[in-house]
Amino acid sequence: MKRSILLLFVVLVLLGACEIKEFALPQWDVELRVPLIYQRYYVSDLADEVNIIISDDDVLTLTATGSMDTPEIGTIPLHPSISQSGLPIMSGIVQSLDIPFINTGMEAVLFYGRVESGFLRYKFDITESSADVLIELSNIRNDLGESLKIESGAGSGWQNINISGYHFGDEDHGEELENIVVNASSTSGLPQGSIIATFSIEINQPLHFSEFHGVLNDYEISMNESSTAIEIEYPQNINEAITLQEATLLIDVVNQIGFSCEFEGSFVAEGIHGTEVIPIKDDNGNNFIIEAASSTGPSTTHLSIENGLNTLLQAMPTKILMENAKFVISTQSGSGRVNSTNTIQADYRIRAPFTFILQDTPITIQESVRVEISDDNQDIFNKRVMEAEMAFDLINKLPLGGNVQVYFSVNDEIDPDNPSTFDFAKSITLLSYEASDGESQIIPLKLEKEELKIFSNPEIFLRWRFSFEDTQGEAITIHAGEMDYIELRSMVTAKVLIGGGE
Amino acid sequence: MKRISIVILLLVVSQLWGISTAKSVFYADSYMLRAQGVEANYWNPAKLNSKTGVDLWLPFANVTASFSNNALDVDTYNYFVTSDSLSVADKQYILKDLHTSLRGDMNTNISLFGMNFGNQAFSSTLNLSGKASISKNVTDMIFYGLTEEEYKFSLGDTNLSGLGYIDFTFGIGDISIPYIPENWPQIKVGASASLLAGLFGTDIIEYDGIIRNTLSEGATVHQDLVLKTGVGGGGLKAMVGMYSEVYDGLEFGLTVDNIVGFINWRVMTVEHALSISADDLYAANLEEDYLKVDFEQNKIKPFSTKIPPELRLALLYKTKYATVSTDWVHGIKSSAVTDKWGRISFGASLLPVKFLPISFGIAPGNSKSPLKTSYGIGVTSESIDFGIALQTSNSLFPNDKTRGLSFGSHLSFHF
């Protein structure tokens, strides 16, 4: 009995020893990891499908296309001097006479032409009142092929004939029109062979031909001045950081004129590095010859220009235009034909792959990254963070290394060149693809106490700036495939004190 | 209030050790061959014996309540609350016994009615049990933060199950096996069958989770859980048992419990599916709907909660003033009421005074179950049997190292 009571007593004493202390929460530190940023900047994002495109071989390429054209060539003016006075008309006899077609100007030789505007004048001096005279100009015809006919009786003195719509010469003759063929026939009451009248004809005003076959000499056709210049916008202002090294200029000239001609002109590039001008010449420094249109339609001449384009690119052009562009038809062009509505159009395209030399200018990403900080995390960073570091994980698929600067601010307007616009900045070394084998580059950075305070704001902003290392003058080609990018990730790791009293 | 919260927490995460009747607590569950009268209905019906007379249970007179966990004790709690700050060593000390998960079980067994007539007995008890486990990853995150890049969760380390039912059990025993060779000891067999009235049953049947937080992938959270609950149902279970006095004063016993054990839930059966997911989160890229939470509750067809069979072997040695026993039990698989690992327990009873038995029990700990020790004392006479017992987990005596307690009170009447 005593033993049992003793045992029970012992158990109760032991139970009584189970003192449960009053609850109080101690403090301890835990690790808090906040994934902050994940940004992947593809080279292909630089392409705007307008001026920056991705070529078939995935190379980022600057391209600029433009088009210029001439106005309609208009009428070809000739200044003939045709004059025949006092040609006797004999009654009852058909007479034929060639009047020389003398072109006083040296600008053209007419083979065949259709008059758009011009006048011919003639005069009959009738000596026999019963005379009836018909003059037929057999190589001046209307659209129906009917020769120009002049009949007496229209009045005395000089008479004008509007010869608009009449054709000079034979379309298929292919040789210079040397004479105007005049055929005269008459009737009268006088015996055959009696002179019954005299006939005078002259053309001493310019004739304007809407259709012209022949030879033109030093005939210039200027491009329209109203052609629009090409404006190029570069994403992320990369034109400040690079100078492109290769380019080709392709010009397709569509010629409706049946004359070959020389193409003269120059390209002007205006950019942040100045203005550059290159003449449009072939590899031998000669003007390009534009093929004549054929009977089947306009010709297209493809011109490829490489010489001097590097000079053009030195400007990293933001504006490209063709200046003083014109086409010159000369006697060397041979004979040809032209219509007043004919034009010449030049479509040109500059292609410059992103093979470039880096300038000593950083590339700043234009848009800031906004990071929202939750209320809980704000409170933690405000009161409970003991220490923290920010780790970066960089993957660089580009053949360029350098530095990445990240600027932190509570305001969106971050100007990396103005320290008052951001709270602090961090700089990270970025290895090139070759140097890093394309693998992750993990870079831990310690955050100072003062820097941590920024995370106690409801939102913060980050802005990236890339300063690529000097390529020592070596040109680098940038591709823009799916695997060409720079990836930036960051995570804040903090030792946070939890528990305890407030 | 906070102290109460801790106690409630311990209750919630406590650990059950099988279905116990009140007196089993006295011996750390080494009780199969000790059970007599109505209690033999649940421990070994072969022990139902007409020589013991009529044994009567009154409602709520026999109660056990237990709770325990596998890693936390009062000492740990006191260490935690009396520290101003926790160093790495402090954290290691607090979490030293947490290996894969913090597990806890609870069990309550309340007698509603019981009576035996000779070698037959009829009884009814209310059984409430539950298990919960929380992955060690959770406690690691609480104490260390997110030091690892990835934390995985599965049903193996995170779980919740509960079961409540009332049994109506009829048993018959003390049946001698015929045709035993004469020089063999007599073998008695018995059996009991229980009609189970299910109150509730719940189980997490699917769970997969991952929390990943890396610089290269951001934060990723996936938690997919399916919980099946049933309310109102019916079922059966049966037990067969044998025992034999193999030597003078030495008994051997064997039982198989929970034969065809099941409860079929019919009144209300619902499947709750919770899915939480968020992928590759960075603070700068958060969208409004970055966290997807889907919660669905669907009525489902009636289903059954299986109660896996459990094998128990026992030895009991009796002397005039003392008895000693050992039990070994092994469930076929784990459930709300069984464990699929084996455990052994030892019990002893002393009779320093004829009417004042004292009892002891001990169940050595293993990798799955903690050490358990029991102390009981009672008063017994020809017409009444009364006792109280306390069982501790993880300690020989109730002290600061105790990780769980079981309380048993027993009152029965004999005629």
pLDDT 10s digits, B164-209: 999 999 999 999 998 888 888 999 999 999 999 999 999 999 999 9
Kindly give, in sequence order, each residue whose CB lies less than 8 Å from that of residue A25, ignoring residues fewer than 6 positions away: A499, A500, A501, B81
pLDDT at A16: 57
pLDDT at A227: 57
Query: Would you say residue A443 lies in a domain?
Result: yes
The shortest CB-CB distance from B219 to any of A24, A29, A35 is to A35
> How far apart (Å, rounded) are the C-alpha atoms in residues B257 and B237?
8
Q: Answer whether A4 sits within 8 Å of B283, measured CB to CB.
A: no
The chain B residue lying nearest A495, using CA atoms, is: B145
Tell whether B92 is within 8 A of chain A (Cβ): no
Residue B348 in this model has a pLDDT that exceeds 90: yes
Pick from B326, B403, B315: nearest CA to B360? B326
The shortest CB-CB distance from B284 to any of A3, A24, A36 is to A36
Tokens describing residue B25? 């607590």
Question: Rounded to a whole number, what is the distance in Å from the CA of A448 to chain B's nearest CA?
Answer: 20
Buried b / exposed e along A230-265 (16+ C-beta atoms within 10 A):
bebebebebbbbbbbbbbebebebbbbbbbbbbbbb
pLDDT at A284: 87
A391 neighbourhood in chain B, CB within 8 Å: 215
A36 neighbourhood in chain B, CB within 8 Å: 282-284
A350 pLDDT band, cuts 50/70/90, is confident
Q: Do residues B129 and B336 touch, judged by C-beta distance below 8 A? A: yes
Q: Answer whether B146 sits within 8 Å of A1, measured CB to CB.
A: no
pLDDT at B183: 85
The chain A residue lying nearest B354, using CA atoms, is: A1
Q: Which domain holds residue A107?
A: 76-214
The CA angle A392-A398-A401, to the nearest 5 degrees, is 65
Give residues 354 to 373 of B whose Cβ lies within 8 Å of A: 356, 358
Q: Answer whether B286 sits within 8 Å of A372, measured CB to CB.
A: yes
Q: Answer whether A4 sits within 8 Å of B284, measured CB to CB.
A: no
A428 neighbourhood in chain B, CB within 8 Å: none
Residue A461 in this model has a pLDDT that exceeds 90: yes
> What confidence tens digit (pLDDT) does each residue in B232-262 have?
999 999 999 999 999 999 999 999 999 999 9
pLDDT at B216: 87
Which residue has 């991952």 as its token pair? B210
Q: Answer whether B142 sits within 8 Å of A391, measured CB to CB.
A: no
> What confidence tens digit (pLDDT) does each residue in B351-362 have?
888 888 999 999
The residue count of chain A comes to 502
pLDDT at B16: 32
Q: Answer whether A34 sits within 8 Å of B283, measured CB to CB.
A: yes
Q: Answer whether A26 sits within 8 Å of B286, measured CB to CB.
A: no
- A66 shares its domain with A83: no
Q: Answer whether B358 sits within 8 Å of A7, measured CB to CB.
A: yes
Q: Answer whether A27 sits within 8 Å of B280, measured CB to CB.
A: no
Pick from A256, A347, A318: nearest CA to A66? A347
Tell whether B287 is within 8 A of chain A (Cβ): no
Question: Rounded to a whole number, what is the distance in Å from the CA of A396 to chain B's nearest CA?
Answer: 14
> How far apart (Å, rounded) are the C-alpha atoms in residues B267 and B271?
14
Q: Answer whether A1 sits within 8 Å of B352, measured CB to CB.
A: yes
Q: Do residues A312 and A319 touch, judged by C-beta distance below 8 A? A: no
Query: Would you say residue A398 lies in a domain?
Result: yes
- A81 shares its domain with A182: yes
Q: Which domain holds residue B178?
A: 2-414
B50 pLDDT band, cuts 50/70/90, is confident
Tokens describing residue A157? 């003195």
Q: What share of chain A has pLDDT > 70, as a percent?
A: 95
A5 neighbourhood in chain B, CB within 8 Å: none
The residue among B5, B151, B216, B406 with the most chain A CBs within 10 A of its CB, best to mutate, is: B216
> What confidence tens digit (pLDDT) does each residue in A143-170 have?
999 999 999 887 788 999 999 999 999 8
Mean pLDDT of B295-323: 93
pLDDT at A316: 82
Q: How many domains does chain B have?
A: 1
- A186 shares its domain with A262: no
- A110 shares its domain with A152: yes
Q: How many domains does chain A have?
A: 3
The shortest CB-CB distance from A391 to any of B80, B83, B215 is to B215
Average pLDDT, chain A: 86
- A234 shares its domain with A332: yes
The chain B residue lying nearest A368, using CA atoms, is: B284
Tell whether B268 is within 8 A of chain A (Cβ): no
| Partners of residue B363 on adjacent β-strands | B372
The shortest CB-CB distance from A26 to any of B2, B84, B375 is to B84
B78 neighbourhood in chain A, CB within 8 Å: 19-21
The shortest CB-CB distance from A31 to any of B86, B144, B284 is to B144
Q: Do residues A404 and A488 touch, judged by C-beta distance below 8 A? A: yes
Instruction: Report DSSP state, residue A483.
Output: T
Tokens describing residue A262? 């020389």
Q: Do residues B160 and B227 touch, judged by C-beta distance below 8 A? A: yes
Q: Answer whether B78 sits within 8 Å of A372, measured CB to CB.
A: no
Give residues 140 to 199 of B whose Cβ lies within 8 Å of A: 141-147
- A280 shares its domain with A184: no
CATH of residue A259: 2.60.120
> What confidence tens digit (pLDDT) does each residue in B370-397 have?
889 999 999 988 889 899 999 998 888 8
> How far apart (Å, rounded) are the C-alpha atoms in residues A399 and B79?
58
A106 pLDDT band, cuts 50/70/90, is low
Q: Answer whether B216 sits within 8 Å of A18, measured CB to CB.
A: no
> What confidence tens digit (pLDDT) does each residue in A35-82 have?
988 988 888 888 888 888 888 888 888 888 888 889 999 999 888 888
The shortest CB-CB distance from A28 to any of B91, B356, B402 is to B91
Kindly give, in sequence order, each residue whose CB lies less than 8 Å from that of residue A199, ignoring residues fewer than 6 positions away: A84, A86, A87, A89, A122, A123, A124, A125, A133, A135, A184
Q: Answer whether B216 sits within 8 Å of A489, measured CB to CB.
A: yes
Q: Answer whether A393 sits within 8 Å of B216, measured CB to CB.
A: yes
Task: Name the domain boundary from A193, A214, A235.
Answer: A214
- A311 shares its domain with A336: yes
Q: Answer whether B85 sits within 8 Å of A32, measured CB to CB.
A: no
Task: Name the domain boundary from A153, A184, A214.
Answer: A214
- Torsion of Cα atoms, B37 then B42 then B43 then B49, to 10°: 30
Tell whether B4 is within 8 A of chain A (Cβ): no
Query: Would you say residue A34 lies in a domain?
Result: yes
Q: Answer whether B281 sits within 8 Å of A491, measured CB to CB.
A: no
Tell whether B8 is within 8 A of chain A (Cβ): no
CATH of residue B214: 2.40.160
pLDDT at B15: 32
Question: Rounded to a whole number, what is the distance in Å from the CA of A398 to chain B's nearest CA?
Answer: 19
> What confidence tens digit (pLDDT) does each residue in B64-111 have?
998 888 888 888 999 999 999 999 999 999 998 888 899 888 989 999
A440 neighbourhood in chain B, CB within 8 Å: 216
Pick from A429, A424, A366: nearest CA to A394? A429
B5 pLDDT band, cuts 50/70/90, is very low
Pick from B311, B366, B395, B306: nearest CA to B18? B311
Q: Do residues A245 and A290 touch, judged by C-beta distance below 8 A? A: no
Q: What share of chain A has pLDDT > 90, as a percent?
A: 34
Give the max Cα distance, chain A. Answer: 187
Kindly give, in sequence order, each residue whose CB lies less than 8 Å from that of residue B345, ignoring residues fewer than 6 positions away: B27, B28, B29, B30, B326, B327, B328, B329, B361, B362, B363, B372
Q: Answer whether A23 sits within 8 Å of B2, measured CB to CB.
A: yes
B2 pLDDT band, cuts 50/70/90, is very low
The chain A residue lying nearest B85, using CA atoms, is: A27
pLDDT at B17: 31
Tell whether B138 is within 8 A of chain A (Cβ): no
Pick from A130, A128, A121: nearest CA to A150? A121
B336 to A433, B16, B110, B371: CA distances (angstroms): 58, 8, 17, 20
Pick from B149, B133, B29: nearest CA to B368? B133
A12 pLDDT band, cuts 50/70/90, is low
> How far apart (Å, rounded) are the C-alpha atoms in residues B187 and B175?
8
- A384 shares its domain with A463: yes
Buried b / exposed e along A13-23 (16+ C-beta atoms within 10 A):
ebbeebeeeee
Question: Rounded to a whole number, what is the distance in Å from the CA of A7 to chain B's nearest CA?
Answer: 9
Q: Answer whether B2 sits within 8 Å of A496, measured CB to CB.
A: no
The shortest CB-CB distance from B146 to any of A26, A31, A499 is to A31
Q: How much of chain B is in helix, strand and coil states, percent to nearest 5?
A: 15, 60, 30
- A199 shares its domain with A155: yes
Lowest mean pLDDT segment, chosen from A15-29, B40-54, B207-221:
A15-29
Query: Would you say residue A238 lies in a domain?
Result: yes
